[in-house]
Amino acid sequence: MLSNACKYAIRSILYLAIHSDDSKKIGVKKIAEELESPQPFLAKLLQQLSKKNLVSSVKGPSGGFYLSKSNLENSVWNTIECIDGTDKFTKCFMGLSSCGDENPCPVHFTVAPFKQKILHDFKDRTIRDFAEEIKLKGRRISLKDFEVT
Amino acid sequence: MLSNACKYAIRSILYLAIHSDDSKKIGVKKIAEELESPQPFLAKLLQQLSKKNLVSSVKGPSGGFYLSKSNLENSVWNTIECIDGTDKFTKCFMGLSSCGDENPCPVHFTVAPFKQKILHDFKDRTIRDFAEEIKLKGRRISLKDFEVT
DNA sequence: ACAAAAAAAGACAATTATATCTGTTTATAT
DNA sequence: ATATAAACAGATATAATTGTCTTTTTTTGT
């Protein structure tokens, strides 16, 4: 559904939400290893996110990326907007510009509630909320430490 | 969500389901005009669909594409399989291979029920079912005849 | 039989997504 | 102050998606 770029971006942000703060920055290299994503590609993404204030960064030795208090108040939606754009969530599943409740495409009423729910979760819940749930319930954002038991 | 290719393909099939049968074939040119999709691109897609027996065709004058009785019994899922592949519906939203009910990613329980619902609609309902609903309820598969009133 | 109409097939072109590489700037630790 | 570590910036490479163009094959109406 999402592009690879966007998946990497969201996972990075969640990773930073859990493992970083302004006194503990993390470099691209480390993040890329943890998430098993291509390092230079991820670097580009983090720069985009940084420009939009979705992540914070400092250069130089012992620098790196982290999430500030205010970064934590953003939504996943902000990240999707930044990387992919939100067309695929707001536009018609079948590509019809006039599709809506009054002029529904054949799958409109199948897809519409799904969109609603996803939009709600991605717009209204903050990164902080997600991070909390991840810590509390042990959600998974990496494959690295995954062992089949 | 779907690729352009797949959207064109599904709309073509639904168009044919409504307007064609073995005694009324329709050429690519006409279909492309009706759906406002790029003609040569659509031609390619129809050939792919034809190979998988999702549409029927005859060459020569007064030939064209149509849906046979058996074509009508296929599902939208078959078309998606044929054109896009179904990875984006079956795989984890965040790209984690181990994601599932036991090892959920952060959005797993948001996304899972709707995957279920979408899969159900796309696998279990036939093209005939969709066509019937389109005729009955006036669903829209083209933009061409759409007037803002 | 023959001309025309249509699908089928294959080569080509443009754009976007994905990814890498190289060099520059900036901040920090010593 | 200086060396170094890290982000930042820009150019390049590759693959997939989207789309076009040309030729061939098949079928039908005359």
Q: Which tokens is A112 given?
A: 């519409």
Q: What is the pLDDT of residue B147?
A: 45
Q: What are the residue ranges spanned by the domains of chain A?
A: 4-137
CATH of A4-137, one of 1.10.10.10, 2.60.40.10, 3.40.50.970, 3.90.1310.10: 1.10.10.10
Q: What is the pLDDT of residue B148?
A: 43
Q: For residue B133, what is the enclosing H or E element?
A: helix B127-137
Instruction: Collect the ranges in chain B with pLDDT lower than 70.
Output: 143-149
Q: What is the pLDDT of residue B144?
A: 66
Q: Which residue is nearest to nucleotide C29 (CA to C1')?
A: A61
Alpha-carbon torsion (A21, A23, A24, A28), positive or negative? positive
Determine whether the interchain pair B117/A140 forms a contact, defined as Cβ–Cβ distance below 8 Å: no
The integer distance in angstroms from the CA atom of B7 to the C1' atom of C3 is 37
Q: Tell me the shortest Cα–Cα distance from A23 to chain B, in angstroms.
A: 25
Q: What is the pLDDT of residue B129?
A: 95
All residues at 6 or more sequence positions from B12 whose CB lies less than 8 Å from its CB, including other chains: B31, B35, B37, B42, B45, B46, B49, B55, B65
Identify all chain A residues contacting B8, using CB atoms and an 8 Å cutoff: 95
Instruction: Collect the ranges in chain A with pLDDT lower than 70.
Output: 143-149
